[in-house]
Amino acid sequence: KMSVPDYMQCAEDHQTLLVVVQPIGIVPEESFFRIYKRISAVSQVNVRDSQRVLYIRYRHHYPPENNEWGDFQTHRKVVGLITITDCSSAKDWPQTFEKFHLQKEMYGSTLYDSRLFVFGLQGEIAEQPRTDVAFYPSYDECETVEKRIEDFIESLFIVLESKRLDRATDKSGDKIPLLCVPFEKKDFVGLDTDSRHYKKRCQGRMRKHVGDLCLQAGMLQDSLVHYHMAVELLRSVNDFLWLGAALEGLCSASVIYHYPGGTGGKVGSRRAQGGSLSAEAGNRHRPGKDGILFLFCALTSNGINADTSSEIGRAKNCLSPEDIIDKYKEAISYYGKYKNAGVIELEACVKAVRVLAIQKRSMEASEFLQNAVYINLRQLSEEEKIQRYSILSELYERIGFHRKSAFFKRIAAMQCAAPSIPEPGWRACYKLLLETLPGYSLSLDPKDFSKGTHRGWAAVQMRLLHELVYASRRMGNPALCVRHLSFLLQTMLDFLSDQEKKDVTQSLESYTAKCPGTMEFITLPDGLKLPPVPFTKLPIVRSFSARLLPSRTEILACTGLFGYVVPGAGPCTCHNFGHYAPKFVNFQWVQGDVCEVQLMVYNPMPFELRVENMGLLTTGVEFESLPAALSLPAESGLYPVTLVGVPQTTGQITVNGYHTSVFGVFSDCLLDNLPGVKTNGCTVEVIPALPRLQISTSLPRSAHTLQPSSGDEISTNVSVQLYNGETQQLIIKLENIGTEPLEKLEVTAKTVNTKEKLYGDFLSWKLEDTLSQFPLKPGKIATFTVNIKVKLDFSCQENLLQDLSDDGISVSGLPLSSPFRQVVKPRVETKPINPQESSKVGDFSHVKTLEAILNFKYSGGPGHVEGYYRNLSLGLHVEVEPSVFFTRVSTLPATSTRQCHLLLDVFNSTEHELTISARNNEDLILHAGECQR
Of the ranges 443-447, 569-573, 585-589, 833-837, which one carries the lowest mean pLDDT score? Answer: 569-573
Distance CA 500, CA 494 (A): 11
Q: What is the mean pLDDT of the chain?
A: 82
CA-CA-CA-CA torsion sign (789, 791, 794, 800)? positive
Q: Closest Cα partner for 353 from 334, 331, 369, 376?
A: 369
Question: What letter does residue 97 receive in the DSSP assignment?
Answer: H
Per-residue pLDDT at 919: 66
Distance CA 138, CA 705 (A): 96
Helix axes 342-359, 382-398, angle to 10 degrees: 20
What is the percent of the chain where pLDDT is above 70?
Answer: 83
Question: What letter does residue 776 receive in the DSSP assignment?
Answer: B
Burial of 810 (0-12, 13-18, 19+ CB in 10 A): exposed
Q: What confidence tier does 577 reach under pLDDT thresholds 50, 70, 90?
A: very low
In DSSP terms, which residues pair with 880 in a beta bridge?
A: 722, 848
The CA–CA distances, whole Å, from 329 to 32, 326, 365, 478, 895 equal 41, 5, 11, 50, 148
Secondary structure class of 526 (helix, strand, coil): coil
Length of the chain: 933
- Tell me: pLDDT of 762 over 80: yes
What is Dmax (Cα atoms) for the chain? 183
Answer with the residue of higher pLDDT: 709 or 428: 428
What single string gives the DSSP state of each residue in 621-678? Answer: S-EEEE-EEEEEPTT--SEEEEEEEEE-S-EEEEEEEEEEEETTEEEEEEGGG-TT--
- Tell me: pLDDT of 929 over 70: yes
Backbone torsions φ then ψ of 897, nearest 5 degrees: -75, -10
- Tell me: pLDDT of 334 over 90: yes
The residue-averaged pLDDT of 97-110 equals 90
Q: Closest Cα partner for 337 from 246, 252, 238?
A: 238
Distance CA 522, CA 173 (A): 75
Secondary structure class of 441 (helix, strand, coil): coil
The residue-averaged pLDDT of 153-170 equals 88
How big, in percent rounded to 5, are the helix, strand and coil portions of the chain? Answer: 35, 25, 40
Per-residue pLDDT at 209: 95
Distance CA 659, CA 643 (A): 10
Whether the CB-CB separation of 436 and 409 falls below 8 Å is answered with yes
Distance CA 132, CA 738 (A): 94
- Tell me: pLDDT of 828 over 60: no
- Tell me: pLDDT of 873 over 60: yes
What's the pTM? 0.72
Distance CA 366, CA 403 (A): 13
The residue-averaged pLDDT of 103-130 equals 89
Q: Give me the amino acid identity at 9.
A: Q
Per-residue pLDDT at 557: 61
Per-residue pLDDT at 397: 94
Name residues whose C-beta falls within 8 Å of residue 430's C-beta, 6 or more positions apart in sequence: 413, 468, 471, 472, 475, 480
What is the percent of the chain where pLDDT is above 90?
Answer: 48
Name residues whose C-beta falls within 8 Å of residue 781's C-beta, 6 or more positions apart in sequence: 733, 734, 735, 736
The residue-averaged pLDDT of 891-907 equals 78
Distance CA 225, CA 210 (A): 10
In DSSP terms, which residues pair with 615 in a beta bridge?
A: 659
Query: Per-residue pLDDT tens for 210-231?
Result: 999 999 999 999 999 999 999 9
Name residues whose C-beta falls within 8 Å of residue 911's C-beta, 6 or more positions apart in sequence: 826, 827, 928, 929
Name residues whose C-beta falls within 8 Å of residue 408's C-beta, 6 or more positions apart in sequence: 389, 390, 392, 393, 396
Of the ranges 20-24, 617-621, 722-726, 887-891, which one carries the lowest mean pLDDT score? Answer: 887-891
Distance CA 409, CA 432 (A): 6
Question: Strand 810-811 and strand 814-815: pairing?
Answer: antiparallel
- 188-199 as b/e, with b when 16 or more CB fall inside 10 Å? eeeeeeeeeeeb
Per-residue pLDDT at 836: 42
Whether the CB-CB separation of 595 and 644 falls below 8 Å is answered with yes
Distance CA 720, CA 883 (A): 16
Query: Per-residue pLDDT tens for 485-541?
Result: 999 999 999 999 999 999 999 999 999 999 999 999 999 888 889 999 999 999 999
Consecutive H or E run containing 103: helix 93-106
Question: What letter does residue 531 receive in the DSSP assignment?
Answer: P
Q: Closest Cα partner for 665 from 520, 512, 444, 485?
A: 512
Per-residue pLDDT at 379: 78
Name residues whose C-beta falls within 8 Å of residue 260's C-beta, 6 or more positions apart in sequence: 270, 299, 300, 301, 302, 303
Q: What confidence tier does 48 reach under pLDDT thresholds 50, 70, 90?
A: confident
Backbone torsions φ then ψ of 272, nearest 5 degrees: -70, 150
Whether the CB-CB separation of 859 and 561 falls below 8 Å is answered with yes
Q: Please, where are the H alpha helices in 802-867?
A: 861-865
Name residues whose C-beta falls within 8 Å of residue 928's C-beta, 6 or more positions apart in sequence: 824, 908, 910, 911, 912, 913
Among 157-161, 544-548, 693-697, top mean pLDDT goes to: 157-161
Residues 143, 147, 149, 150, Cα dihedral to 10°: 160
Query: Per-residue pLDDT tens for 688-724?
Result: 999 988 888 888 887 777 765 555 567 788 888 888 8
DSSP E strands, 69-182: 78-86, 113-119, 133-136
Query: Per-residue pLDDT tens for 345-367?
Result: 999 999 999 999 999 999 999 99
Distance CA 297, CA 17 (A): 10
Distance CA 725, CA 792 (A): 8
Whether the CB-CB separation of 229 and 205 falls below 8 Å is answered with no
CB atoms within 10 A of CB 794: 17
